[in-house]
Every structure is written in structure tokens, then in C-alpha cells.
Amino acid sequence: MSFSLLSVTFKALCRRWVASLLLVAVAAAGTVSAIILNGLILRQEEALENTIENTVISCTVTDPMGTIGGKLGMLSNFVEMLDGRRRENGCLLDDYVENVRALSETILEEPKGNSFRRILSLDSDPLLDPANGTKVEFFEGETEEIFKSREQVCIITSDIPTFDGYAVISGPTGEKVRLRVIGTVSGNLKGIIYCPFFMPYSEGTSVAFYTDSCSFDIIDNRKLEESKAAIYEEHFVEPNPANKADGLTYGVVVHDEAYLKNLEEINSTLSMLRILLPALIIICGCIGFFAGFLMTKGRIREFATMRCIGMKKTQIFFLVIGELLFLAAFGMFLGGGIGFIIEGNLSPKAITDSAIITAVYIIGTAIAALRIVRINIMKLSNKEE
């Protein structure tokens, strides 16, 4: 295209400045919409990922009917299954669950009337929650992890008597057991001794006992259904009033209602946003066609004159496309700047989608321009502006 034709084109754009601004505005609006839409999609995807990664799905062990109201009365063998202590027997539940919390309470003969509680962690007993005004202090070198061991140690409330750093209790058969004190419990609690859940009364022994409460968390929320299938495979069932209490199976309530509801809402929003993008592309293509048609329709006599002085249809077509391309590119960059101000950044996908929308817009205008310039020269000459 010669410099003179470029000059004519520029003057034509300036002369039709209202139409030119409208075309720029349409291209800019499409770009801004694409950027904002991609920003919304990214934020929803991040929300989805955060929900999956950070939501804790807890599970509570109940009786098979799910109606337990007091102590669970479940043998500690079931806790061993959940805690990974039965892997040699083919029980691999610890591949799916973590943070097992279990509590077993016995009333002692010595110190008489005091509570002896086996726990797997401090959060196994709600009474140890700091929100209740309780404070647990471990002695130097000791941590909460010791409750997962089999060591004969304990933490005690301030009223429990000690002898040279040991608390003495009476075992289930009346024998006395000395527990090394590794920490204290302060607050409103009195008369309680806490020890590791699987601690034996005598070295080398392993005696099953009844568990009063048990709960745990799902390890991987992405494998929620697989995890539930593993939990309900053999010794645990989904609570149902029709189940029978036989002491061989126990119910597990998976508290996943809020999690699944959040996933459903986020995925629903994502689906809607992902549908809007193709719809936006189609709309921009249609707008481009009508915009190009209206802009070129008013220049029919101008095109006829160009044909009369020897310009070919292809030259006129590319001249028109050049004008529209300039306006569309300017609108895209303008929209990109506005989108950046709104969103704070431009993702590669937002840039790609903006380019696609602009391309579809240009294709629409190109089809309109092609339709006009293909009209016979004699018809062009006879058309009214």
C-alpha cells in the first residue's frame, strides 16, 4: 500500500471518527471481558485447589447404627488398624487416614478414684483443649509425640502425688506400675493421669482394652471416595439403623457434607465461567461482522471510485482490513491496559484468549468487508451512499 493510500485511509478513519471509536470500544470491551473472565476462572480454580488442600475431613467412629451416646466400648485393636499397627496383617487403612485420635478411660484403685486416660495425642481428649482453660507443659526434651509410643510415661494434673518424678498407679490386676512424669496439666482439671494409648502395664505385654472415643482425618481429599471404600471394606461400616451391634464392626461417620457442598458450588461457578468464554468469542465474531458491514456499507461509492481508477478487489479488501486491523489492535491494547489495571496482572491464558477474541472480531469484519467489495463494479457505481 502506497503512502498516499495510507494517508487517504487515515483521513477516512478520522472523518468517520465516531464509527472508528465504536470499533475500538468494541474490541477493547471484548479484551477486557476476556481478561476479567480469565481472572475469575483463575480465582475459582485457586479456591477449588485451596478447598481440596486445606479442608480437613474428619471421621468419627460410632456403633454400627450411628446412635452411640456414651462410651464407644470398642476394642483397641480397631484403633491399631487405623493407626497402622496392623499392616503386617494386611490392614492398610493408614494409607488413607491420619491424625488418629483415641481415648480410653479407667478409674484407678490407686490413686483411688482418679482417672487414668490413654490418649494418642492431646486433641484426643476435648478436656485438654486450651479453649477450656487447660494448659499442658512438657518437661525439657519431651513432646506430644511420646503419646504414640509404648513408653511407661505420663502427664498429670497438679493434685496427683509423685515419688521421685514417678506416679504410681494400680494396674488392671492390682499390680503397681510406676510411670515417669514427663509433664503437667494445669487449669480446672483434677485427678487425671494421661499416658500413651498403647502403653503396656508390663514390658513385653500387649493387652486389648476398650476405647471410649475415636476419630481421625482423611489424608487425601482427592481420594475421598477411594478412602471411604477402604474404610468400609471390612471392619467399619457406614452407620445405618438397620445394622446390628455385634462387636465385630463399628460405624464411621465421614463429615464431608460441607466439603462436598463447597466443591459443588465452586465447580458449578467454574462450569458457568468456562461456558461464557466460548459465548463471548461467538458474540465478538457476530459484532465484528455487523460492525464491519455497517462501516463498509457507507463507503460503497468510495469503493466504486477506487475500482474505476484501477484498484483491484483484493487491494480494496486489504485496504479495508488494514483499517479494521489497526482499530482492532488499538482496541485490544487499550483493553489490555484496562484489564491490567483491574486485575493487577495478565495471565498467559488471558492474553491468548484476548488475542483469539480479537482475531474472531477481525474475521467477522473481514467477512463483511469481503461481501461488500465483491459486489460488481457497475452495482457499486449505482449504489447510494
**Span 100-131, pLDDT tens digits:** 999 999 988 888 889 999 999 999 999 999 99
Residues in the chain: 385
Percent of the chain with pLDDT over 90: 44
CA–CA dist 212, 206 (Å, integer): 18
CB 100, CB 213: distance < 8 Å: no
- pLDDT one-digit tens code per residue, 269-310: 999 988 887 887 777 767 766 766 666 666 666 766 776 777
Mean pLDDT score, 327-334: 80
Helices 257-297 + 17-54 axis angle, to 10: 170
CB 285, CB 359: distance < 8 Å: no
Structure-model confidence comparison of residues 324 and 18, the more confident one: 324
CB 231, CB 216: distance < 8 Å: no
**pLDDT grade, residue 47 (50/70/90)?**
very high
Mean pLDDT score, 18-35: 77
Say what the pLDDT of residue 384 is: 45
Residue 382 has pLDDT above 70, yes or no: no
Exposed/middle/buried for residue 368 (C-beta within 10 Å: 0-12, 13-18, 19+): buried
Residue type, 33: S
Say what the pLDDT of residue 1 is: 43
- pLDDT one-digit tens code per residue, 74-87: 999 999 999 999 88
Say what the pLDDT of residue 91 is: 87
Residue 383 has pLDDT above 90, yes or no: no
Contacting residues for 62 by C-beta, under 8 A, at least 6 apart: 68, 72, 239, 250, 251, 252, 253
Burial code (b: 16+ CB inside 10 Å, e: under 16) for 170-204 equals: bbeeeeebebbbbbbbeeebebbbbbbbbbebeee
Mean pLDDT score, 197-213: 82
User: DSSP code of 182?
Assistant: E
Q: Given phi > 0 = left and psi -120 to 50 = alpha, else beta, which region is 333? A: alpha
Residue with cell 480437613: 56
CB 327, CB 251: distance < 8 Å: no
Exposed/middle/buried for residue 263 (C-beta within 10 Å: 0-12, 13-18, 19+): middle
Say what the pLDDT of residue 83 is: 92
Residue 68 has pLDDT above 60, yes or no: yes
Contacting residues for 351 by C-beta, under 8 A, at least 6 apart: 336
CA–CA dist 267, 273 (Å, integer): 10
Angstrom CA distances, 21 to 34, 97, 328, stand at 20, 62, 10
CB 300, CB 378: distance < 8 Å: no
pTM to 2 decimal places: 0.77
**3-state SS, residue 189:** coil
Q: 59 - beta bridge partners?
A: 216, 254
**pLDDT grade, residue 342 (50/70/90)?**
confident
Residue 2 has pLDDT above 50, yes or no: no
Contacting residues for 87 by C-beta, under 8 A, at least 6 apart: 94
Contacting residues for 385 by C-beta, under 8 A, at least 6 apart: 298, 300, 301
Mean pLDDT score, 193-208: 82
**Mean pLDDT over all residues of the chain?**
83
Residue with cell 476476556: 34
Torsion angle, alpha carbons of 335, 337, 340, 346, to 10: 80
Contacting residues for 185 by C-beta, under 8 A, at least 6 apart: 128, 134, 135, 136, 155, 156, 157, 158, 192, 194
Mean pLDDT score, 186-211: 85
Say what the pLDDT of residue 234 is: 81
**3-state SS, residue 163:** strand
Q: Are strands 236-237 and 97-107 parallel, antiparallel or unpaired?
A: unpaired
User: DSSP code of 90?
Assistant: T
